[in-house]
């Protein structure tokens, strides 16, 4: 079945048309295929590999900045929608209690991971005999 690539959500064409992916960037130019054969040169290959790593780092930083700008614009909108949906789901008697941000339980009630065995001084670990010595 033929489909329009700009309407199928997983395609690059859709992501670029919807503004979810960078379209104008100089690092994209480096990824284009070049169908021109080049004579092998060791120094050229080494510099090319170094440049590829550097370009990948630059592209990663730019994509992250692009994503952050996209998310910053929608953050307030999502927060407002989330509050509205949260207050709708609660009964009216409880919604007034949770209009401000709910408080989280304290962490003091949790057990620490590195506790010690009561009979001896080694760190408590689970083993076959239950004592902790393997």
Inform me whether the pLDDT recorded for 109 exceeds 90: no
Indicate whether 124 pLDDT > 70.
Answer: no
| Closest C-alpha among 31, 5, 32, 27 to residue 16 | 5
pLDDT over 80 (residue 57) = yes
More confident residue, 48 or 73: 48
Reply yes or no on whether the pLDDT at 88 is more than 80. Answer: no
Burial 2-30 (b: 16+ CB within 10 A, else e): eeeeeeeeeeeebeeeeeebbeeeebeee
């Amino acid at each position: 079945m033929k489909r329009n690539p700009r309407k199928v959500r997983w395609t690059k064409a859709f992501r670029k048309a919807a503004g979810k992916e960078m379209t104008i960037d100089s690092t994209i130019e480096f990824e284009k295929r070049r169908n021109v054969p080049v004579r092998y040169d060791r120094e050229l290959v080494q510099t090319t590999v170094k440049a590829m790593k550097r370009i990948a780092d630059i592209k990663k930083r730019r994509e992250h900045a692009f994503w952050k700008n996209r998310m910053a614009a929608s953050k307030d909108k999502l927060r407002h929608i989330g509050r509205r949906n949260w207050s709708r789901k609660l009964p009216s008697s409880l919604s007034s209690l949770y209009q401000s941000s709910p408080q989280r339980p304290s962490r003091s009630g949790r057990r620490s991971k590195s506790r010690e065995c009561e009979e001896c001084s080694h760190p408590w670990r689970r083993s076959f005999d239950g004592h902790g010595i393997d």
